[in-house]
Amino acid sequence: MALTIKEVEHVAQLARLKLTEEEKVKFAQQLSTVLDYADTLNAISTEGVEPLIHILPIRNVFREDQRKPSMEREEILANAPLAEGFQYKVPKIM
């Protein structure tokens, strides 16, 4: 299944990746190989098989609605590349 350059551009845009023309060609090939490999699954008949919702046989895992202390904001903001006034500082979007 050959992926077109346009499809690669679309996926790159969604992932906010900037690709060179050479990279687009390269990734089109590589991604096509990955998709082809996944396509081998189609050889198996899945008639009557329930789609898998979760990989582990667990369900209904809950916690009660009880507050616990949050993390100190100095501590959590220490991970931010940029912060100001106890807020994350980001490039303006709109």
Contact residues for other proteins, defined by CB under 8 A:
10, 14, 16, 53-56, 58-68, 70-71, 73, 76-77, 79, 84-94
18 vs 54, beta carbon nearer other proteins: 54
Q: How far is the CB of 66 from other proteins (least distance, A)?
A: 7
Q: Within a 13 Å sphere around the CA of 37, how many CA atoms are in the beta-carbon half? A: 6
- The count of residues in the chain is 94
49 vs 94, beta carbon nearer other proteins: 94
Q: How far is the CB of 34 from other proteins (least distance, A)?
A: 16
User: How many other CB atoms are there within 10 angstroms of residue 35's CB atom?
Assistant: 12
Q: How far is the CB of 17 from other proteins (least distance, A)?
A: 11
The first and second tokens of residue 20, run together, are 């060179």
User: 90, 82 in Cβ contact below 8 A?
Assistant: yes
